[in-house]
Amino acid sequence: MPTLFPQVTIAIITAHGIDNKSVSQVPTTLLTRANEVAPTLVPNDPISNNEIVKAWRDAFKKFKTDKGTRSAIENLLKRAKNGNPVRSINPLVDIYNSVSLEYGFPVGCLDLDKVTGTLRLTVAKGTEHFSAIGEDDDETALPGEVIYRDDTDVTSRQWAWRDSARTEATADTQNVVMYMECLKPDWQNQHRQAIDCLEARFAKYLGTNCEVSMVSKDMPTTTFK
């Protein structure tokens, strides 16, 4: 990955002991406000004329993707901009979606108890198995596409575009690992603010502290549990 994206830094964030069943613990105003803030990050039309979107589209041109694939963050921002607000799912998802919408960084989230062995960001060989959330059919990763995977199979395809049903964070999830990518060095201050916001909201609404470590070209590995 350093060869394709030498400037990328990724925050690896873990949290334990989550109660993800009590929907009342996260106010509805959190997502409402986030959906209102999101369009200010992409004020130009068409949406491709905004820096966040352009940077991610340029990144996606560096590897093979499914036709028409857009980054997870573009999809979220586009919904909010077009008046199709991101809806509530569960407390955990609502919190990290609110951060994505307000700060412009994608967040991938896995149930940590379902991750097997080592989690890594890599380039697919084209034989890796994947079963997407909400889909009945199994898929195979494209050769050369950017994926997250563990020792079993793919956990997220094409960065964090789609997450695996096998490692999906559900209402029963208690422990999670999240990844938040920063494509450009000049986004690092905003990236840090997004991380801080995510930590604060986990503490306030889920009653748990996060542990954060950073992965980059100069620090390519980290340990978490």
Per-residue pLDDT tens digits for 195-206:
999 999 999 999
pLDDT at 121 over 90: yes
pLDDT category of residue 67 using cuts at 50, 70 and 90: confident
The pTM assigned to this predicted structure is 0.94
d(CA 136, CA 186): 40
**Pure H helices in 66-128:** 72-81, 91-103
What is the rounded average pLDDT of the residues 42-54?
A: 97
pLDDT over 70, % of the chain: 98
More confident residue, 15 or 225: 15
pLDDT at 11 over 70: yes
Query: Please, how many CA atoms are within 13 Å of residue 112, restricted to the half-sphere of its CB?
Result: 15
pLDDT at 1 over 70: no
What is the rounded average pLDDT of the residues 118-144?
A: 91
What dihedral do alpha carbons 17, 21, 25, 28 form, nearest 10°?
130
Among 156, 163, 153, smallest CA distance to 89 is for 163
Per-residue pLDDT tens digits for 161-192:
989 999 999 999 999 999 999 999 999 999 99
Give pLDDT, residue 179. Answer: 95
d(CA 72, CA 157): 10
Give pLDDT, residue 66. Answer: 87
Partners of 212 in the beta sheet? 13
pLDDT at 2 over 60: no
What is the rounded average pLDDT of the residues 102-106?
A: 98
Instruction: Please state the domain extents for the chain.
Output: 22-112+172-215
pLDDT at 207 over 70: yes
Per-residue pLDDT tens digits for 21-46:
876 778 999 999 999 999 999 999 99
pLDDT category of residue 209 using cuts at 50, 70 and 90: very high
